[in-house]
Amino acid sequence: MDEPVTTAGPGTGMPDTAARAVTTTTILPTESRQRMRDGTELLLRTWLPDSQRYPEPLGTLLLVHGLAEHCGRYFHVADLLCGLGLRVRAYDLRGHGASGGPRMVAPHPDIYVDDLAEIHDAAVRQWNEMPIVLGHSMGGLVAARFATGRIRPIRALILSSPALALKLSGGMMTLHRVLLALVPRLRVPNPIDARLLSHDPEVARAYRTDPLVQGTITAGVLESFIRGMAQAQADAPRLESPMLMLVAGADRIVDPAGSRTFHDSAPEDLREMIWFETGYHEIFNEAEPLRGEVFAALSGWLGRHLETPAKP
């Protein structure tokens, strides 16, 4: 591609599907549960596109949410994706939302990648096609590791504000190592400041009052970040599928510099990054007009890639 890195600015425009996704949710999901190999049950939500417009969906997309949140915060994103002809499956990570497992506990650093592999396998069995994988923040890290580690073949990779680098002080790292050695499952306050998620104050209010949003973190979960980020960066050259990165330039939850490093290490013919200079971390929940520009970028990229049929 001619310009793998783009900086988004005003006047990008927004297709009708994106406008609908921002203002209302028209497609409701079905809910189910999937039991992981260790017996933990995860909540799944599945959205299907309008059968009148799309008698056969154009593809399957697996959505992986971020740290401490849940997939119930992505109804508007699923609505947009269904409007493009995709079926969407999202799930609450273990220890998150309505899924099982001890709250905010990672039994081992690769557990979230392992769970995604099981979700992937069940979707492939059900629909017999390679899925697109979209991950936000921590989910972006999980998705990036899944793709670059070649855990399973995927059709395409989309990363939204991926957690590919964090700014951790020496003191924080020392505390982390102590907690990891002594009490890896001890829940301590989550440092995420809701005001830094979006320029829209309603997003911060909804986040703070959402009973399914977790207010704690454990050393075991943080260790999955630390090890996972290093592994993803090392494996970036091994990417085999087309990749879109949607990066918030003013992100103070994760370090956006990690996205640049990852992008620059990925194969040149597969990578594309769009940089939203003023965006805060949750670019799918940003204030207008930025949110519309993000949805337009996502819609445009997917529209081009959906022209190529998925292979089993």
Is residue 219 a part of any domain in this protein?
yes
Q: Is the pLDDT score of 177 beyond 80?
A: yes
pLDDT value for 170: 83
Is residue 246 a part of any domain in this protein?
yes
pLDDT confidence tier of residue 312, bands split at 50, 70 and 90: low
The β-bridge relationship of strands 188-189 and 216-217 is antiparallel
How far, in Å, are 60, 123, 143, 209 from residue 117 at the CA level?
15, 10, 10, 32
pLDDT in tens, 10-57: 333 333 333 333 334 578 999 999 999 999 999 999 999 999 999 999
Is residue 197 a part of any domain in this protein?
yes
Number of domains in the chain: 1
Q: Is the pLDDT score of 250 beyond 90?
A: yes
Is residue 230 a part of any domain in this protein?
yes
Q: Which residues contact 137 (CB under 8 A, 6 or more apart)?
A: 65, 66, 67, 160, 161, 162, 163, 253, 254, 281
Give residue for tokens 């970040």: 225
Domain with 166 in it:
5-305
DSSP H helix total and E strand total for the chain: 9, 11
Residue 6 β-bridge partners: 274
Q: Mark 58-78 as b/e (b = at least 16 C-beta within 10 Å).
A: bbbbbbbbbbbbbbbbbbbbb
Of the chain, the percentage scoring pLDDT greater than 90 comes to 81
Average pLDDT over residues 121-146: 98
CA distance 44 to 88: 10
Average model confidence (pLDDT) across the chain = 90
Tokens of 117: 């592999």
Catalytic residues: 137, 251, 281
Q: Is the pLDDT score of 4 beyond 70?
A: no
Q: Is the pLDDT score of 65 beyond 50?
A: yes
- H or E, element range at 250: none
Is residue 310 a part of any domain in this protein?
no
Is residue 312 a part of any domain in this protein?
no
Is residue 311 a part of any domain in this protein?
no
Is residue 126 a part of any domain in this protein?
yes
Q: Of the candidates 309, 34, 69, 263, which has an alpha carbon nearest to the alpha carbon of residue 148?
A: 263
Average pLDDT over residues 296-305: 96
Q: What is the CATH number for 28?
A: 3.40.50.1820
Q: State the pTM of this model.
A: 0.90
pLDDT value for 311: 57
Higher pLDDT, 7 or 165: 165
